Chain A
Amino acid sequence: MEFLGYITLAIFLGLMLLTLFGYIRTPVQTVLVLSTILCLVVGGLFRFSAYGWNSVALMPNEFLGGIILHPITALLTGLFLAGGLKASGGFEALKAILGYLRRSPIGLVGTLVILINLPVISSLPCGRILAAALLPLLFTFGFEGGLGILTKSQLIVLIGAFTRNSMGSCGPSPIGGVGQIAEGFLGSFFPTASDGILRAPQAFALMLGTAIVALFLKFVSQKLYPDDVALREAPAGFATQSGGTEVRIKAPIQGFIALAIFVISLLIAIFQPLGKMPVQSVLVAGALLMIVVCRIRLNDLLEGIILLPVTAMAAGFLAAGALAATGGFVALASILNSLVSIKALGVAGMLAIFVQFQTILPLSCARILTAALVPTLYLFGPAQFNFLSWSQLAIVMAAYIINATTSCGPSPLGGGGMMGEGTMRAETGFIKGAYTFASMAVMAPMAAIFMKFLNLSVFQPSDPGFARNIYMIGAFALVIAGVNITFIFLGSRIFNPNISRNFFVQLLGFLFSGGFGGGILAFALFEMDATKICQGVLGGVIAAALIGLMVPKTLSKRLSATLTGPML
């Protein structure tokens, strides 16, 4: 059976890598279904020859038992409600509110900061919903969009940071978010885990990580790929010519009502003030209210359903179910277990690599691999291998989930970050360095620290062993931000026209930051154990090397050549 597990795991990982590197050019969901079928066929044949027909007959139950319906239905109802918001002009109302904010004392920059963080605050089940609605608005801030308030460089930072925040906001979402997959597992020990034990660590890490992405885009990406964004600067005197006039965004009254219904539904779903009820029921009730009050059609709501995350999640669960039924997870756990036996790595080093797994292998939707790998991570806890206690498992889960959630951003397989690249007219891969750097070096360690020093005690207040120390969280936030900002500034000063040298400098920055992040994760798990911290640093460096080497050295000059060449 163990041998079968290695075969099915090889099939799964092989197909994923072939897709990632572009050797298989079909949607990743199709590849996952293919992987599922292959694993089941191989598993069926193996079981039939080894254990007979009865063993094969048990497979369907084992396979389907791994499919968790709650996040799928929550995601569907979340998208359903968002569809209503879109149809009734809710996003226009949001734009109008942002317009008012801009004219308030918080000014342009304060409004932009809120706008960039709006996705994580609203926590929709898929970042693509808000990104699709608001990216065109962000584009208008530039010269080509009409307003001409921001320069090209500022617009790149704004769009890149907003998209980063969007493509991580599905993690802490209470309505079918990626984090709910792991919260279900943590519910084995923390009775109220499903209330959102992973939400605050993810949100905290994402807010800080988004800011670091903004800085990385400004000081690193724009220097590494100076000719790969086709946005144009405003010609001199543009603001004077246009008279600086600004078009006020008007929204229908139904839009404001729909926005209010949406926010109230979200708050009821999160805080359950009317008693315990399924999130899905609240969202469907909200959507029905929108139909009645805002006079929208059922079709409008259905149009809001984006199939990619839904099918990605379903395909991920199918692949995970096939791996579970054929021993694939046990094989993966055995491989990772063997990493533990390497003295230089140990448990801390192995976990420092594991939490970065989805950034190393970024797919179009984080749910695909999360559904497959969270069960493996769960096995490291008291449930099987006992490497970690329940509290340590929660800390690793926090780090893993934010890293996983944000992995759809830099994915070249139709990842959400491509929406941002499209809006800023950048070549594919422009944002990859910034996104992977922040996920690896800032978000994963920060989420672990937050879980250790605050959230464990929030969800298990009866345990006096859990620390509640926001000074430590604040200090770590400052140190993590400070160290990474220093690396970004240093890197930007060293860059020169030599592409290979720049790539090496960037890789070096990844290695240092990865090692630093791995050390912090080890500290969060094992405290002041010097050996474990060194092992964490080594694991972090290995993961950073795998991530840093995947960042493109140079982007295609096809777009700029087209725009400046004789064809134009």
Chain B
Amino acid sequence: MLLWIIFAFVGVLSGLIIACALEMTSPKELFQGALGGLIAGLLMSAMLPH
């Protein structure tokens, strides 16, 4: 469970940073970036040994 949480966290964090780097900084775009990051983090976690 901890691995899921921490990868969801880093996914959201990296999603927000990438959205800023892509100059997509409206609240909607930041939310979408965070959501994309969350999905990426959860997918990554699913691929790891727990």
Contacts and interface: CB of A to CB of B under 8 A. Distances in A.
A354 to B, nearest CB: 26
A210 B21 CA distance: 11
B38 to A, nearest CB: 9
Interface in A465-479: 468, 470, 473-474, 477-478
B36 A214 contact: no
Contact of A153 (B5, B23, B44): B23
Contacts of A120: 44
Contacts of B35: 105-106, 110
Nearest to A471: B6
A116 B21 CA distance: 12
B36 A114 contact: yes
Nearest to B15: A113
A371 to B, nearest CB: 23
Contacts of A478: 13
Given A109-B33, A111-B36, A123-B47, A207 B21 contact: no
Contact of A161 (B2, B18, B48): B18
B49 A454 contact: no
B22 to A, nearest CB: 5
Given A113-B14, A212-B17, A474-B9, A107 B29 contact: yes
A470 B32 contact: no
A270 B47 contact: yes
Contacts of A195: 49
Contacts of A218: 21-23
A232 B11 CA distance: 31
Interface residues of B, number: 35
A204 B36 contact: no
Interface in A195-246: 195-196, 199-200, 203-204, 207-208, 210-212, 214-215, 217-218
B48 A214 contact: no
Contacts of A458: 3, 49-50
A207 B14 contact: yes
Contacts of B40: 113-114, 117-118, 121, 207
A519 B35 CA distance: 33
Contacts of B5: 470
A200 B3 contact: yes
B22 A109 contact: yes
A473 B18 contact: no
Nearest to A116: B18
A154 interface: yes
Nearest to A272: B49
A157 interface: yes
A222 B7 CA distance: 30
Contacts of A210: 14, 18
A468 B15 contact: no
Contacts of B43: 114, 121
A271 B32 CA distance: 31
A474 B35 CA distance: 18
A251 interface: no
B32 to A, nearest CB: 4
Given A112-B22, A196-B49, A468 B36 contact: no
Contact of A106 (B18, B32, B49): B32
Nearest to B3: A200
B11 to A, nearest CB: 7
Given A107-B29, A109-B24, A114-B40, A204 B6 contact: yes
Given A196-B48, A200-B3, A157 B14 contact: no
A496 to B, nearest CB: 22
B18 A113 contact: yes
A113 B19 contact: yes
Nearest to A153: B23
A111 B32 CA distance: 8
Given A214-B17, A215-B21, 5 more contacts: A113-B14, A153-B23, A196-B48, A207-B7, A474-B9
Interface of A: 105-114, 116-118, 120-121, 123, 150-151, 153-154, 157-158, 161, 195-196, 199-200, 203-204, 207-208, 210-212, 214-215, 217-218, 266-267, 270-271, 450, 454, 458, 468, 470, 473-474, 477-478, 481, 485
A-B pairs with lowest CB-CB distance, top 6: A110-B36, A113-B36, A214-B21, A211-B17, A211-B14, A117-B40
30 contacts: A105-B35, A106-B35, A108-B32, A109-B32, A109-B36, A110-B33, A110-B39, A113-B14, A114-B36, A117-B11, A118-B40, A121-B40, A157-B22, A158-B22, A195-B49, A196-B49, A199-B49, A200-B49, A203-B44, A204-B6, A204-B7, A207-B40, A207-B41, A208-B14, A211-B17, A214-B21, A218-B22, A458-B3, A458-B49, A468-B2
